[in-house]
Amino acid sequence: MNLPSVYLASGSPRRYEILRNLGYQVVRVPAQIDETSYPTENANEYVQRMAQMKNEAAIDTWLQNHPQQPEFPLISADTTVSLNNLILSKPTSTDDAAHMLKLLSGQQHQVLTAVCVYWQHQTYHALQTSTVSFAPLTPQQIAAYIATGEPLDKAGAYGIQGFGGVFIEHISGSFTGIMGLPVYETSQLLSQCGYTPFPIP
């Protein structure tokens, strides 16, 4: 059986895996952008702007190398962590990761993932927000977790699908959204493009 294909404007192995698990062939398209937040920007605005900018950058890359529009839907996404309106992006160092984990320790925070799908000159948008409850962390736990290397390329300095999952007491929302690509919202956007991941009438 020939699987439907999509383009993915992300280097994330987690987003790639999620789409593959939904039954898609996935072709990556580079999307390099400046991910600096604006001083007055809240987390909702920031994450949606990032997803849109990634989508536009990937389309530009595609059109520079091909004479025609993308032949499959092009998906971009961005995930950020928000604690009391403070945006926690990917840490810039181990010290920054330790600082973020200390802030999250024993607190509830929000994980926001924005998704954009470009198809036939139209862009479709979705935003998914989850609430995550973190257990209190000791300095030893934080140091040991950082030593794994996992926090350094994750928004908020943790990954729910990896070692970081042991610190999470409760979530309200979407597990795949916290991972980086909410399955329900992404599938809804793709269905608007005429793409369905499996034959459910």
Number of domain units in the chain: 1
For position 133, which CATH number holds? 3.90.950.10
pLDDT of residue 1: 46
Burial (Cβ within 10 Å: 0-12, 13-18, ≥19) of residue 73: buried
Active site residues: 78
Q: Is residue 57 part of a domain?
A: yes
CA distances from 124 to 78, 189, 201 (A): 14, 6, 22
User: What's the one-letter identity of residue 108?
Assistant: Q
Which pTM does this prediction carry? 0.92
pLDDT of residue 4: 81
| pLDDT tens, N- to C-terminus, the chain (201 residues) | 466 889 999 999 999 999 999 889 999 999 999 999 998 999 999 999 999 999 999 999 999 988 899 999 999 999 999 999 899 989 999 999 999 999 999 999 999 999 999 999 999 999 999 999 999 999 999 999 999 999 998 999 999 999 999 999 999 999 999 999 999 999 999 988 888 766 555
Q: Is residue 124 part of a domain?
A: yes
Q: Is residue 17 part of a domain?
A: yes
Where helices occur in the chain by DSSP H, the ranges are: 13-21, 43-65, 94-104, 139-147, 175-179, 183-192
With the CA atoms of 34, 37, 39 and 40 taken in that order, what torsion angle do they form, in degrees rounded to the nearest 10? 130
Q: Is residue 37 part of a domain?
A: yes
pLDDT tens-digit profile of 124-160? 999 999 999 999 999 999 999 999 999 998 999 999 9
Residue 129 belongs to what domain range? 5-192
Q: Is residue 198 part of a domain?
A: no
Q: Is residue 200 part of a domain?
A: no
pLDDT of residue 195: 80
Q: Is residue 201 part of a domain?
A: no
- The enclosing H or E element of 129 equals strand 122-134
Helix, strand, or coil here: 28?
Answer: strand
